[in-house]
Amino acid sequence: MKGMVGVLLLVLAQPAWSADDPPGCAWLCGNWVLDVAASAAAEPAVDAALEKFRGPGIKEQVRAQLLAALSPPISLVLGEQGKQVLIRWGDNPERRIFPGEPHSRVDAQGTAKIRSEWKKDSLTINESYGSKREQTETYALLPDGTLQLTRVVERPEAKPMRLRSIYRRR
């Protein structure tokens, strides 16, 4: 019975969150595991994007980089610390996202300008390295309680790639 009351309160509170920015990571918080059967594979999207690529000896290297960037993580952990959203993919370092506050990160590819915001009931994160490359992630809770992660990756050497992955609570 207590579980039903909690679910009811969550359902009743959700429309109020939709009007304004939700607190922290709101209903996205938790431990998630990839539903492989319900998710798209990265290989077809990458192969289609590189269909007309003509870099002899380089195509396989670019393909490997794109697969690494687009392959869905087996597990996700979303949490919050104040207004920050914390995201951890598998064994990768934790990322800190600041919805509504642009920031940047310096890494091996250069400086990424990061913008994140709540759009309706989803969190969208855009990382841009100027004209070199861009990646957008959208985390959305679906009506059946699963989490949909949609990633769009754009690189100058390939057509834009879109991949949807479905996660279930662990």
Give tens-digit pLDDT for 53-99: 877 778 888 899 899 888 999 999 999 998 899 999 978 889 999 99
Is 14 a domain residue?
no
The CATH number assigned to the domain holding 137 equals: 2.40.128.20
34 domain-assigned: yes
**Residue 43 resides in a domain:** yes
Using alpha carbons, list the distances in angstroms from residue 34 to 87, 88, 92, 148, 163.
15, 13, 16, 10, 13
Average confidence (pLDDT) over 122-151: 92
- Residue 12 placed within a domain: no
Q: Would you say residue 31 lies in a domain?
A: yes
Structural domain of 81: 24-169
Reported pTM: 0.81
Q: How far apart are the first and last CA of the chain?
A: 22
As for how many domains the chain has, the answer is: 1
In a domain, 8, yes or no: no
| 65 within a domain of the structure (yes/no) | yes
Binned at pLDDT 50, 70 and 90, residue 21 comes out as very low
